[in-house]
Structure formats: C-alpha cells, structure tokens
Amino acid sequence: MLVVHTKEELAEQIAEWRHSGDHVALVPTMGNLHAGHVSLVELAREHAERVVVTIFVNPTQFGEGEDFDTYPRTLERDKRRLKSTPADLIFAPDVETVYPFGVEAATVVSVPGLTEEFCGAKRPGHFDGVTSVVARLFAIVQPDVAIFGQKDYQQQLVIRHMTADLSIPVQIITGETVRADDGLALSSRNSYLSDEEREIAPQLHGALEFIGRELQNGKRNYEDLESSAIVRLNAAGFAAEYVSIRRAENLEIPDRDCDELVVLAAARLGPARLIDNIVVTI
C-alpha cells in the first residue's frame, strides 16, 4: 500500500491505474481509523479495482472551541490498520496542499437548505467546511465512486446534493453504520468517553431503536416520540441536542403516511458529541 502526501505523487499513480483501465474509489476520512472505516474501504473495493483512502483533518469543518487541535492524528496506526484491507493508497496531504491559497482565502462550497438544521444548526459553518473539502478531494483524486458512512446521515445527503447540483461525475455510495456489540455506533470521538460514559453511551442507539419499534407499531405522534426520547436521554446523563423523525429521502417533516423515515439524534456525553441515526422502513 502506497502512502503519498502530494498531489503530484497521487496524480502519477492514478494516471497509471487509469491507463490500465482501473476504476478508482475514494474513501475520505479524518483518520483515527476504526472498524467502521475498514467496512467503507471493503465496500469501496466492491465498486472499483483501486481504493484511495484520504486522511486529512480538515480545519474548515471545525468551529470555534471545537476539537480541531486535539482531534487524534494517528497516521502510523492508520497505516497499519489499512494494511490488511483492500486499500491501495493513502493520500495524507497537509493543509497547504488542500487549501493552496490558505484557509482564509479558500473558495467555499455551500449547500443551502439541507444544512440549516440538526448538525448544521448546532455547528455553524460545519457543512460548508465538509462540502468545501469534499469538492476539493473530488477534484484532486477524480474518483469514479466515493463512499461515506450512514452514521453521518445528514452529511451524506448534503454531499449527494452537492454532487448532483454541480454535476460532479462521482457516484456516491453510503455504507452502513458499524456498531459495537452493545449498539454504540463506532466513531473516532468515542475515545473521548470515560469508562462510565462509555457504559451510558449505547443508550443513544437504544433511544433510536425504541422509536423505531414504536413507529413499526403504528405510532405516528412524532413530536411526542421525539420529546420523550430527549427526556430519557437527559435522565441517563446525556445533554441531548436533538432527536428528530424525518423523511429519509430529504430530511423534510414527514406526514403520517410517510413509509421511509430516518430517526436522527445528537447528544453530548461528557466531552464527546455523539450522533447516530436509524432508517425505519414501515
């Protein structure tokens, strides 16, 4: 597996693959890789002969007071983790490579509407940072396919919107959330949890599953389901930011007949901000 840091080295390798007729799949990450990322790499390999994993802690998607400085940077461990996967190349650029005019003078790609609620409302500017960096990575790598995790449900919808709206010729594929045995969605930020918080954390998924069962049982009082989940989470020790039942397709408020729903949640637990979601097909 190759590890490259510059656009030139990357372009040279990709040109070679393209010359042999290979397709390229991209798995964008911020590193500190876990089994969830590995599953995205394996999914990528089902869609292309070559898999590029980018490892880049993107400064523009972190807000003031967020964890950009302390975000775990674990390149050596990530390289070892990817060795036993079908990844062909790690692209680990520095900030100047991705933002050649500097972060302050960088072109911003911004998706309206979809980004205004949930994580977008709680983390102002976050999705502008995500779409700006993903558009750059698409331009640099020029993949045929790109893989994003379902755990960041709103993010993958925003990226799908951007890609379609800008006619970027990249197919977007969403990979399922990988969970620990107790249901907690794997996330790089789980490492911020103390042992005690880690015991409590699966209750976030438990709250989503409870709502999922109620919906399957015919309950349609969405607001009551959301607010009782928030009360339960707060009683368990979380500071819930939102629990929301929306149309899976576009995050719009669903009517009673909607049969493809997503239940989204975000909650703080100690130093960690956890997000999770489940899709419920009635």
Determine which helix (DSSP H) or strand (DSSP E) holds 131, and give its type and residue range.
Answer: helix 126-141
Contact pick of 30, 38, 48, 158 for ligand PAF (by CB under 6 A): 30
Interface with ligand PAF includes 158 (CB under 6 A)?
Answer: no
Q: For residue 133, with 0-12 CB atoms within 10 Å meaning exposed, 13-18 middle and 19 or more buried, which class applies?
A: buried
Query: Shortest gap between Cβ of 237 and ligand PAF (angstroms)?
Result: 26
Query: Shortest gap between Cβ of 174 and ligand PAF (angstroms)?
Result: 12
DSSP code per residue over 146-176: EEEETTSHHHHHHHHHHHHHTT---EEEEEP
Q: Of the candidates 56, 36, 62, which has an alpha carbon nearest to the alpha carbon of residue 185? A: 36
The two tokens of residue 29 are 């990450």
Of the ranges 22-30, 164-172, 217-225, 266-274, which one interacts with ligand PAF (CB under 6 A)?
A: 22-30
Of 37, 126, 161, 205, the catalytic one is 37
DSSP code per residue over 180-243: -TTSPBP-GGGGG--HHHHHHTTHHHHHHHHHHHHHHTT---HHHHHHHHHHHHHHHT-EEEEE
Contact pick of 13, 29, 174, 244 for ligand PAF (by CB under 6 A): 29
161 is an active site residue: no
Interface with ligand PAF includes 277 (CB under 6 A)?
Answer: no
Query: Shortest gap between Cβ of 247 and ligand PAF (angstroms)?
Result: 22
Query: Shortest gap between Cβ of 30 and ligand PAF (angstroms)?
Result: 4
Interface with ligand PAF includes 58 (CB under 6 A)?
Answer: yes
> What does the binding site for ligand PAF look like in residue numbers (CB under 6 A)?
28-30, 58, 61, 130, 133-134, 152, 155
Return the active site residues.
Answer: 37
